[in-house]
Amino acid sequence: MTILIKNISLKNRIVDILIEGNIFKEIGDNINIKADKIIDGTNKAIIQPFYNMHTHSAMTLLRGYGDDMRLFQWLSEYIWPQEAKLTSEDIYNGTRLAILEMIRSGTVFFLDMYWYHKEIIRAAQDMKIRANIGISFIEERGKKEVEESIEFINQFEQSSELINISVAPHAIYTVGKDLYQELHKISKAKNLKFHTHLSETLKEVKDCKKANNGLTPVEFLNSIGVLDNNTIAAHCVHLTEKDAEILGSKGVTIVHNPCSNMKLASGFFNVPLIHKYDCRVCLGTDGVSSNNNLSMMEEMKFAALLAKVAYNDTSLLSANEIFAWATKYGAEAMNINSGKIKEGKLADCLIVDLNNERLIPNHNLISNWVYSADSRCIETVICNGDILMENRVIPNEDEIISKAKHFIR
């Protein structure tokens, strides 16, 4: 399959772009090749899509189910009882709803962490999106589940370049030292990413210090040898200078989830500190229950504006920097050869309507994209050379909506 995009704006230059198979084959001034599909790029821009680096996609089914409550009441009275009732079919339908929402808002990859991983993989495969499915571990769910999940990881063979798995111990308060170390070994042996929650709340930090001779969660995981450049740590809201130094020097990928950290009142992500220690940072939406959507567009604006007000610095976390966190740094962290519109890169891109009022005037597209746009600006989404949404149409949308709509308990 070849796609030729004619006369499209790429970084303020009008170009033609040829996609051959799953790569950007040629970007030039006037490409005249017979392609299977031709897209007219007049009054449109091409831009790299989002890589959502931390979510729990099937939780879309719990959108708006209990909000504005104290954390423990919300979890114990609302979220956990509902989660306990979810069937594998619910997970499949919820994940497809999540993917639909992600495609509409320009996301072509998500790093997931939830249960019923087989259903999540099936949903991602059916919708042709890139995904890495974290195989989750919480010890109190029982030995049997832990063993089955380890077995699943050991048996897993990647069958598509789009879908992979990662090893995902939930957090230090749900997974003990021994299992963390065992899972880290497995991730090394299978060459899989190691994905965990880390330093999300003050309570986590306090409890950890109490239980581990004053070690912070970062220090604790470092002391047991599981932090390295394969590790993806979600949240990292409460970091000491020493924590940031460890995360920076070990090359850990930090995932910032501003909406969730704000909605759950977890705290302010320390942007000056992660700058100081040159930490690798990406962006994620977290699950819908604490957001309540999967829009990386909103997430960029929240991240940038929160940093400015929290640290009293209007120049902190510029549009260009947060755009990089949301796009190419995610692809880089996952070793996906994409995140840039460049010859030889995997063909992941968005086609954006430059006549949408949110992008007018076009003094600076990235500024408009980060601070002004919403999902209405996106016309077409291409992932790995496949068109996932064309002129705002996603195949099977009605069926996905209709299945998910009836999840009301």
Query: What part of residues 30-69 is at the interface with its own copies (CB under 8 A)?
Result: 60-65, 67-69
Number of chain positions touching its own copies (CB under 8 A): 71
Residues from 337 through 356 that contact its own copies (CB under 8 A): 355
Spatial separation of the C-alpha atoms in residues 395 and 60, rounded to whole Å: 19
Tell me which of 88, 118, 376, 391 binds its own copies, using CB under 8 A.
376
Using CB under 8 A as the binding rule, whether residue 363 contacts its own copies is answered as: yes
Tell me which of 8, 113, 319, 341 binds its own copies, using CB under 8 A.
319
| 3-state SS record for 105-166 | CCEEEEEEEECCHHHHHHHHHHHCCEEEEEEEECHHHCHHHHHHHHHHHHHCCCCCCCEEEE
DSSP string, 242-310: HHHHHHHHHTPEEEE-HHHHHHTT-----HHHHHHTT-EEEE----GGGTS---HHHHHHHHHHHHHHH
Whose CA is closest to 131, among 161, 168, 167, 97? 161
**C-beta of 118 vs 409, nearer to its own copies:** 409
Tell me the closest approach of the beta carbon of residue 318 to its own copies, in angstroms: 4
Q: What is the C-alpha end-to-end distance of the chain, expressed in Å?
A: 44
Read off the tokens for 34.
């017979």
Tell me the closest approach of the beta carbon of residue 376 to its own copies, in angstroms: 5
Q: Are 93 and 122 a contacting pair, CB within 8 Å?
A: no
**C-beta of 68 vs 157, nearer to its own copies:** 68
Using CB under 8 A as the binding rule, whether residue 335 contacts its own copies is answered as: no
Whose CA is closest to 61, among 396, 295, 407? 407
Using CB under 8 A as the binding rule, whether residue 266 contacts its own copies is answered as: yes
Residues 6+ apart with CB under 8 A from 142: none
How far, rounded to the nearest angstrom, does the alpha carbon of residue 384 sit from its chain's CA centroid?
17
Tell me which of 80, 360, 391, 399 binds its own copies, using CB under 8 A.
360
Tell me which of 156, 173, 277, 407 binds its own copies, using CB under 8 A.
407
Using CB under 8 A as the binding rule, whether residue 75 contacts its own copies is answered as: no
Tell me the closest approach of the beta carbon of residue 372 to its own copies, in angstroms: 4
Tell me the closest approach of the beta carbon of residue 236 to its own copies, in angstroms: 15
What would the x/- binding string for its own copies be over residues 112 to 131, using CB under 8 A?
Answer: --------------------
**Half-sphere exposure (CA, 13 Å, Cβ side) for 30?**
0
**C-beta of 42 vs 191, nearer to its own copies:** 42
Using CB under 8 A as the binding rule, whether residue 84 contacts its own copies is answered as: no
Sign of the Cα torsion 325, 327, 329, 330 reads positive
**C-beta of 87 vs 249, nearer to its own copies:** 87
**C-beta of 33 vs 309, nearer to its own copies:** 309
Tell me the closest approach of the beta carbon of residue 285 to its own copies, in angstroms: 11
**Segment contacting its own copies (CB under 8 A): 4-12, 108-116, 263-271, 341-349?**
263-271
Tell me the closest approach of the beta carbon of residue 381 to its own copies, in angstroms: 14
Tell me the closest approach of the beta carbon of residue 362 to its own copies, in angstroms: 7
DSSP reduced 3-state for 20: strand
Q: Are 56 and 287 a contacting pair, CB within 8 Å?
A: yes
Give the residue carrying structure tokens 């005249």.
32
User: Partners of 280 in the beta sheet?
Assistant: 253
**C-beta of 146 vs 297, nearer to its own copies:** 297
Please report, for residues 64, 77, 160, 399, the alpha-carbon distance to residue 103 in angstroms, rounded to integers and kept in the order given: 21, 32, 19, 16
Using CB under 8 A as the binding rule, whether residue 205 contacts its own copies is answered as: no
Using CB under 8 A as the binding rule, whether residue 393 contacts its own copies is answered as: no
Tell me the closest approach of the beta carbon of residue 161 to its own copies, in angstroms: 27
Tell me which of 362, 391, 396, 399 binds its own copies, using CB under 8 A.
362
Beta strand 2-10 pairing with 37-40: parallel
Beta strand 349-353 pairing with 194-198: unpaired
Using CB under 8 A as the binding rule, whether residue 215 contacts its own copies is answered as: no
Tell me which of 262, 275, 337, 386 binds its own copies, using CB under 8 A.
262
Whose CA is closest to 190, among 217, 150, 137? 150
